[in-house]
Amino acid sequence: MTEQEMAEKTVKKMLKHDGFSAWLGIETVEIHPGSAVLRMKIRKEMLNGFNICHGGIPYSLADSALAFASNSDGLISLSLENSITYLSKINEGDVITATCNEVSSSGKIAVYEILVQKSDSTKVAFFKGLVYKTGKEIS
Amino acid sequence: MTEQEMAEKTVKKMLKHDGFSAWLGIETVEIHPGSAVLRMKIRKEMLNGFNICHGGIPYSLADSALAFASNSDGLISLSLENSITYLSKINEGDVITATCNEVSSSGKIAVYEILVQKSDSTKVAFFKGLVYKTGKEIS
Amino acid sequence: MTEQEMAEKTVKKMLKHDGFSAWLGIETVEIHPGSAVLRMKIRKEMLNGFNICHGGIPYSLADSALAFASNSDGLISLSLENSITYLSKINEGDVITATCNEVSSSGKIAVYEILVQKSDSTKVAFFKGLVYKTGKEIS
Amino acid sequence: MTEQEMAEKTVKKMLKHDGFSAWLGIETVEIHPGSAVLRMKIRKEMLNGFNICHGGIPYSLADSALAFASNSDGLISLSLENSITYLSKINEGDVITATCNEVSSSGKIAVYEILVQKSDSTKVAFFKGLVYKTGKEIS
């Protein structure tokens, strides 16, 4: 199996059981070894008390992108610490896309960065994720 | 109105329109000026591809606690940057509680920390939130 | 040896060889298992291009406090990721104190928080540190 | 004055008074509007108690790069929150280079990322910086 085939197979397996990504309506745009592009549309039940998108929604999209990118080699990675900077507000009906790329991977630790953008390319969030690579195969 | 009454009134107003907090099943345990304690139960549709709770769920609970605590003075605060450290996995059926306290508030910037724990006090996440205080009243 | 004796012995050993903490003029105020209080005075050569204290100085004080607190059990801990929020500017001649406490320690991962304050208790920085506990003894 | 001339002029002005960057031995490799590349060599007095480079040193180099890049338009930017992930240890004699690029700048908030590498391209740290743009001219 090539690395690309492994990445696609792994994400397919993960998505099949990922109830929260399903609720979010996450669509896989691209998967490559160490990277992922995911997309979703903001629905009314994703808004907060100020009638704009809850901060947990773009975070969750980015966190799913991190999970798919960091597990794309078929080995389990665990999130240790993530941070997110909010750059612009998101409204109902907006389609947002998270693009996750590997910054560094050495031994047990890997770092990824994720940019979340609207359809018109407006940057809405920037996310950094640190994972621990267990080395164990995804069953 | 006392500060405590303002905090309670503001959170009530925010929660009324907060569709995502409603979907999460968030329950307000305590509200005080600058602090909030929120609780929720992990449901099947909140799990990820490894059958454990998606990282976006405890983040979102903590982010709601941050919103309620930082807006409790009736003035709009906007999240700038949050970070979360994952300390232990969360399973379906677990009840998690987020306790948010103010670390510092001076001028336009305030910082909060939030500890997320299971019913048996196991620490599952530690969250730090930085907000910008606009000074504008919540309408 | 008690835990307190181990903490004191370890920090003494670490400080003896810590050239940068010596340059900073760091003074150990308190050491306990899992916690540390350090103090230093801002000198002219610690200022930046705007004639206020360089952001790397309170960071470095907090990072030393993290190192002493997280290694106080005599086992090597390695910094994985730290974040710092700047709350107020620091001037030449100010004495700043970093107080480091453990938030959580479970298995291989521990989290610490550090508050940096001036002599008049003004909060100048809030720092969060994530370390990996190797389990190896400090030689 | 072109943007490039303004960037060079501003950094020259900042460096002239930056005592800590001078102590670190920071050398300006490249300056452009919104970006900066800085280099320094690790000296004995920059080591910690384990005889490796203190975590505050690569942080400080990255923080100086952030300051030069974010002020390169001649307007004062203030650091709000930075985070750093440590990827590999640094030894005495190593030459490290910080490359700072703008991720996003909109209104009052800008985000930068900085990669710190050794001469052989080994990644030693990844830094994210969030600044508040005051809009005031550097005097």
Touching partners of C (3+ C-beta pairs < 8 Å): A, B, D
The arithmetic mean of pLDDT across residues B29-52, rounded, is: 97
The pLDDT of residue D106 is: 87
The pLDDT of residue A12 is: 93
Chain C partners within 8 Å of A80 (Cβ): 80-81, 109, 130
Residues of chain D with pLDDT under 50: none
Q: How much is the mean pLDDT over chain B?
A: 96
Chain B partners within 8 Å of D109 (Cβ): 80
Chain B partners within 8 Å of D83 (Cβ): 83
Bridge partners (DSSP) of residue A75 are: A137
User: B interface toward C at CB cutoff 8 Å?
Assistant: 83, 85, 87-88, 103-104, 106, 109, 111, 113, 115, 123, 126, 128, 130
Judged against a pLDDT cut of 90, whether residue B139 lies above it is answered with no
Residue D52 phi, psi (nearest 5): -120, 170
Task: Kindly determine whether residue A86 and residue B64, on different chains, have CB atoms separated by under 8 Å.
Answer: no
**pLDDT of D68-92, one tens digit each?**
999 999 999 999 999 999 999 999 9
- Model confidence at B107, in pLDDT bands (50, 70, 90)? confident
User: C interface toward A at CB cutoff 8 Å?
Assistant: 80-81, 83, 109, 130
d(CA D71, CA D65): 10
The pLDDT of residue A139 is: 82
- Model confidence at A107, in pLDDT bands (50, 70, 90)? confident
**Where exactly are the structural domains of chain A?**
3-137
The pLDDT of residue D77 is: 96
ipTM surpasses cut 0.90: yes
**pLDDT of C10-42, one tens digit each?**
999 999 989 999 999 999 999 999 999 999 999
- Model confidence at C106, in pLDDT bands (50, 70, 90)? confident
Q: Looking at chain C, which residue has its C-alpha nearest residue A129?
A: C81
Task: List the alpha helices (DSSP H) in C17-88.
Answer: 19-24, 56-70
In the β-sheet with B35-41, what is the strand arrangement from edge to edge?
A: A27-32, A35-41, A95-106, A109-118, A123-137, A75-86, B75-86, B123-137, B109-118, B95-106, B35-41, B27-32
Q: Which residues contact C42 (CB under 8 A, 6 or more apart)?
A: C53, C57, C90, C91, C92, C93, C94, C95, C96
d(CA B133, CA A52): 17
pTM beyond 0.95, yes or no: yes
Radius of gyration in angstroms for the set of CA atoms belonging to chain C, rounded to a whole number: 15
d(CA C42, CA C53): 7
Give C138: exposed, middle or buried? Use CB within 10 Å, 0-12, 13-18, 19+.
Answer: middle
The arithmetic mean of pLDDT across residues B40-48, rounded, is: 97
CATH for D3-137 (3.40.50.300, 1.10.390.10, 3.40.50.720, 3.10.129.10): 3.10.129.10
More confident position, B68 or A107: B68
From the list C49, C55, C59, which residue is nearest D17 (CB)?
Answer: C49
Provide the CB-side half-sphere exposure for A83 (13 A, CA): 28
The pLDDT of residue A106 is: 87
The pLDDT of residue B53 is: 98
**pLDDT of A124-136, one tens digit each?**
999 999 999 999 9
Chain B partners within 8 Å of A63 (Cβ): 54-56, 59
The identity of residue B33, as a single letter, is: P
